[in-house]
Amino acid sequence: MEYENRYIAFIDILGFRSLLKERTAEELYDIINKFQTQSFKAKQNKINKEEDFKLDFQVTCFSDNVVISCLNKKDEKNSTSLIHFLEEIVNYQLILNIYKITIRAGITKGELVHQDDICYGPGLVRAYYLESEIAIFPKIVIDNNIVYELNLANQTEKDIYLQLSQGENLFHFIDTFKTYNDWLNEVEEMSQSKQNESKRYILGIKLQLKNLREVIVEGLKNENADVQLKYRWMQKKYNNCITPHLLKSNKLILEKDFIDIYKPIF
């Protein structure tokens, strides 16, 4: 057995101790297993058919942690494999938001053995370090060894889901709040549309923001100082995201259930 050069994500499902009290074992299994069995297999099959190369997605779940990896291809499609990989991690974040669950993750590339439930290597140690020591807040930190590669890939792909920001510790992270901002722009542009597809798309966006807001509001009630710190960060990011849209929101017809998404969190 030899190490492979792989993109690696170490993901921590936050607040898992509380989830164990609030959700049944079946509910938690469904949340974790649904993504593992459906999303990656579908993505793998789609990529194999369209681009004639295998990324070999591997997923290992244990308790509140998930390790996901894929091959780092040494050819002209290298940047494309990175885009596909990161898209799936962000999708994971968005899927869990539906269940009002937040994650923190570290992503790198490095040497790894990852087959089914067996996973080890220097790359995993690095990804765990990024998640546990660097990320701090509920965000997806990107290692410096792939930031430049991602910037080049984004210039080609122009992927709105993979927008980066730089944290106080100089590490970059995938800023999904920039994506939420883009979504709000789309809501404002599409709100007058009578097409059912547009209405369904807008409803999905509003539901994401509604759930996110409720998670932050509830998290701020936690008496643990470390937990509060994380949600204060999310509160600031959320308020900065919606502030440019406050005046525009007055002109929109908002359903009662979604009025609060345009309100700052205090």
Residue 186 has pLDDT above 70, yes or no: yes
For residues 200-225, give the mean pLDDT: 89
Lowest mean pLDDT of 6-15, 63-72, 246-255, name the range: 246-255
Concatenating the DSSP letter of every residue in the chain gives ---EEEEEEEEEETTHHHHHHHS-HHHHHHHHHHIIIIIHHHHHHHHHHHHS-----EEEEETTEEEEEEE--SSTTHHHHHHHHHHHHHHHHHHHHHTT--EEEEEEEEEEEEETTEEESHHHHHHHHIIIIII-SSSEEE-HHHHHHHHHHHHHH--TT--EEE-TTS-EEE-HHHHHHHHHHHHHHHTT---HHHHHHHHHHHHHHHHHHHHHHHHTT---HHHHHHHHHHHHHHHHHHGGGHHHHTTS---GGGGGGGSPP-
- Best CATH choice for the domain 4-174 from the list 3.30.70.1230, 3.40.50.300, 3.40.50.11030, 2.60.40.10: 3.30.70.1230
- CATH 3.30.70.1230 domain span(s) along the chain: 4-174
> pLDDT-derived band of residue 39, with 50, 70 and 90 as boundaries?
low
Is the pLDDT higher at 170 or at 42?
170
pLDDT in tens, 26-35: 888 887 776 5
> pLDDT-derived band of residue 130, with 50, 70 and 90 as boundaries?
very high
pLDDT in tens, 142-172: 999 898 888 766 655 555 567 889 988 889 9
What does the pLDDT read at residue 196? 60
What does the pLDDT read at residue 207? 87
